[in-house]
Amino acid sequence: MSDTDRPRLSVRSPADLLAAVPYLLGFHPAESVVAVALHGRRIVFVARADLTDPAADPTERARHLAGVIRRQGADSATVVGYGAAARVTPSVDAVRTALAGAGLAVLDALRVTDGRWWSYLCTEADCCPPEGRTYDPATSQVTASAIFAGQVALPDRAALVAQVAPVDGPERVALRAAAGRARRRLTDLIEQAPTGDLLGGRTLRAAGVAAVREAHRRQRRGERLDDDEVAWLSLLLAHLPVRDHAWERTDGRDRDIALWTDVLRRAEPELTAAPAALLAFAAWRAGQGALAAVALEQALARHPDYSLAVLLDDLLRRGVPPSELDGWPSVGLPGVVRRRKRSRRGLR
């Protein structure tokens, strides 16, 4: 099994599906509408959106969700709403309508509230009683299989956000001091660049290539970068040729996700755009869309015009499947850039 493969979970009932959803998303959803897309009998994609405000029209969001599902090559889907009936029902109904309008069969539509589930489509009291059915994911064979395969379902989306949050306290103080040393090192490097090296561009790229290579080597050995290495690498990644070099060597491997998560959390705030975008790319390639989304949120919150983050955010919103980049980096992002021919200008 490669790093980007995901173990298959056997789903035979609504209760099984509800047990699987947190592992498919990476966290337990709440106040959400989730669409589980299938091609034949195989789950190919899971999309989640927050429930709309009760006074808002959920139609536009539902159409977007249906469009994303359709682009995955799915032919059917099950819709699950999490929360109180008054909030869930309008969103589930809107998604059902949008999916049908996109030519997708709706296999079931469920509501989950306080440990019980109801089906909007089943009217048989024997299997779908009016009071709903209880379910306990902790006792499900699906949950056991997912845990055995090493899959993780965090308590909620906030826990996923916390995984990429900046470190603070004494560790941040030490990193700030390392950042000062890195800036002085960079000044010295540029001042010592050969006369013919305009603005030290070649010197910077050479230093960046060496830093990226060393970071990957350390990650393969299971070693963590020290503060000075993180500060130096994150500073050099602000130079676009260095960032592009790192991007070309980033895919959906576990070690890529681990490396860029660590650098993102420890980089100085003004230098988080590059590691956040690299983490988002690695997570997207691995099929971890939720992690990619929270990494991009962090990048765009501080750097709203960082074009690599904007580009990746667009890919996620349009539901472009990671398989479009099989063969990376010899193929380019869909319809955007070809990577075989090196450009003098990278994405900012």
In a domain, 348, yes or no: no
In a domain, 73, yes or no: yes
In a domain, 287, yes or no: yes
182 in the same domain as 146: no
In a domain, 183, yes or no: yes
pLDDT over 90 for what percent of the chain?
A: 67
Output 281 or 149, whichever has higher pLDDT: 281
CA angle 87, 27, 115 (to 5 degrees): 50
In a domain, 229, yes or no: yes
188 in the same domain as 278: yes
275 in the same domain as 244: yes
pLDDT at 344: 36
**From CA 162, how far away is CA 164, in angstroms rounded?**
5
In a domain, 142, yes or no: yes
126 in the same domain as 238: no
318 in the same domain as 194: yes
203 in the same domain as 118: no
CATH number at residue 82: 3.40.140
Q: How many domains is the chain partitioned into structurally?
A: 2
3-state secondary structure of 107: strand
Last residue of a domain, one of 130, 157, 184: 157
Question: What is the domain extent for residue 153?
Answer: 14-157
The pair of three-digit structure tokens given for residue 20, joined into one six-digit string: 């699987």
203 in the same domain as 92: no
300 in the same domain as 220: yes
Lowest mean pLDDT among 64-73, 156-165, 233-242, 317-326: 317-326
179 in the same domain as 138: no
What's the Cα-to-Cα distance from 99 to each of 118, 140, 147, 191, 313, rounded to whole Å?
20, 29, 31, 60, 23
Last residue of a domain, one of 131, 157, 183: 157
Q: For residue 345, name the pLDDT band (cuts at 50, 70, 90).
A: very low
Average pLDDT rounded to a whole number, residues 313-338: 75
Q: String of b and e for 15-24 (b: at least 16 CB within 10 Å)?
A: bbbbbbbbbb
In a domain, 18, yes or no: yes
Output 138 or 184, whichever has higher pLDDT: 184
- pLDDT for 259 beyond 60: yes
Last residue of a domain, one of 157, 179, 214: 157
91 in the same domain as 178: no
Average pLDDT rounded to a whole number, residues 157-167: 95
